[in-house]
Structure 1
Amino acid sequence: MNAHASTAKGAAGHQRLVLDEQAIGAAAKSLDEGAVTPSYGPWRDDVLKLLNDALATELVCVLRYKRHYFTANGVSSPKIAEEFLVHANAESGHADRIAERIVQLGGEPDFDPTHLLDRSHASYDESTELQAMVRANLVAERIAVETYRQMIALIGDKDPTTRRMLKDILSDEEEHADELKDWLGH
C-alpha cells in the first residue's frame, strides 16, 4: 500500500481499504509531469540516481561481454563466446529498459562514456584467457545481483513500477550468474 492509502474501521469492525482522495486530486494537476504524481515524493531524485548508476553498470557490462565475445579463443571458446554475446544483448536490453524508466520519471539517462566507469558497480575487463573472462563476467553478474537486491529493498513501495522492472532484471542477472558458474572449469 502506498503512503497515501490508508485503512479505516468498517461498520463490522474490520479494516477497510480507503483511497486518499486528496492525493488523487493532486494527481490531476501538473500534467507536464506525465506519469510522475506527487506521491513519488522526495524519492524520485534518489531513484533516478540509482537508475543512472544501474544504467552505467549495464552499459559497461555490454562492452565487457562484447570484448570477450570477439576475443575469446580456445577449445571451448565458440560456445562460451556465443553465451557472452547472448549476455551482451540481454544487458543492452536492461540498459534500454532502465533508460526508458529514467525518462518516464522525468530524468535524463546519462550515456556519457566519460562517466560510465565512475558510476558503474561492475568493472570493465581486458582478460585474454577464456577462464579469466568467465570469472570476470561471473564477478560482474554477482555484483549486479547484489546491487539490484539492494535497490529493490531501498525502493520498496516508493516506486512499484521501478521495483517490478528491477525484479525482472535481477532474475535475468541470477540466470546469467548460474550459466557462467557452469562454464567455470570448461
Structure 2
Amino acid sequence: MDSRTKLELNEKAIEAAKRSLDDGAVTPSYGPWRDDIVKLLNDALATELVCVLRYKRHYFTAHGIASPRIAEEFLEHANAEAGHADRIAERIVQLGGEPDFSPDHLSQRSHAEYDESKDLRDMLRSNLIAERVAVETYRQMIELIGDKDPTTRRLLEEVLNDEEEHADELKDLLDE
C-alpha cells in the first residue's frame, strides 16, 4: 500500500456532507454515536446545573469567621459551573439534540448531589466530593468519546481542567 493513501481524504464522506444541510455541523460521519453523546452531555448538563444550585446555596448560607472568603470561592465556582452548563447546552444543540433543563429531571440525571449543609466545613467537603465526582465522570466521558467526536472531547477536556482546579482549591480551603 502506498503511503499516500493513508493521508487521503474520504471523498464519499465529503460528498455525504454536501447533503442534509438541515443538520448544520453534524455530518453523517458522526454516525451512531451522536445520540449517545447527546445523552452523556445532557447528564453532564444536569450535573453542572445541580452544582450551580449547590454552590449558590452555600454562597448565601455560609456563616462564620472564614465565611466571606469561602463564600466568594463558592460564588466563583457557581459562575464557572454555569459557564460549563452553557457551553454543554450549546454543544448539545450543535449536535442536533435538545438540552434538558427540566427541573424535574436534574436530580435524576446529575452525577453530583445537591447539599443543604449548614456547617462551613461540611459545605467545603460536599463541594469537594462533587468536584471529584465531576472529575471522574468527565474523565470517563472523554475516554468513551475518544475520537468519535473531537469537538466534544476538547470541550470536556477544558471543563475537566476547571473541575480539577476547583477540587484543588476546595482541598486547600479544607486544609486551612
TM range (shorter): over 0.9
> Could you say which residue in structure 2 is the equivalent of 1:3?
none
Unaligned runs of 5+ in 2: none
Q: How does 1:94-109 map to 2 (within 5 A)?
A: 94-109=84-99
Structure 1, unaligned runs of 5 or more:
1-7
3-state SS in 1 of match to 2:7 = strand
Q: How far does residue 150 in structure 1 lie from its aligned partner after superposition?
A: 0.3
**1:30-87: CA deviations, max 9, x gaps?**
0000000000000000000000000000000000000000000111100000000000
> Hey, what does 1:140 align to over in structure 2?
130
| 14-23 vs 79-88, which moves further | 14-23
CA distance in 2, matches of 1:24, 1:185: 55
Which runs of structure 2 are paired with 1:15-164 in the superposition (5 Å)? 16-164=6-154
* Identity within the alignment, %: 76
Give the distance between the partners of 1:15 and 1:174, measured in 2 at CA: 41
Root-mean-square deviation (CA, aligned residues, Å) is 1.0
Determine if contact 1:58/1:95 at 8 Å carries over to the other structure: yes
CA distance in 1, matches of 2:148, 2:84: 21
8 A Cα contact 1:59 1:116, kept in partner: yes
Q: Which residue of 2 aligns with 1:9?
A: 2
Structure 1 residue 159: Cα displacement = 0.4
* Letter of the structure 2 residue corresponding to residue 134 of structure 1: L
Bigger helix share: 2
The structure that has the greater radius of gyration is: 1
For residues 52 and 78 of structure 1, do their structure 2 counterparts lie closer, same or farther at Cα, with a shift above 3 Å needed?
same
Amino acid at match of 2:24: G
Q: 1:106 & 1:50 partners in 2: Cα distance?
A: 14
Does structure 2 conserve the Cα–Cα contact (< 8 Å) formed by 1:145 and 1:170? yes
Contact 1:63 1:124 in 2 (8 A): yes
**Aligned letter for 2:126?**
A
Q: Using structure 2 for the length normalisation, give the TM-score.
A: 0.98
Deviation at 1:15, TM superposition (A): 6.8
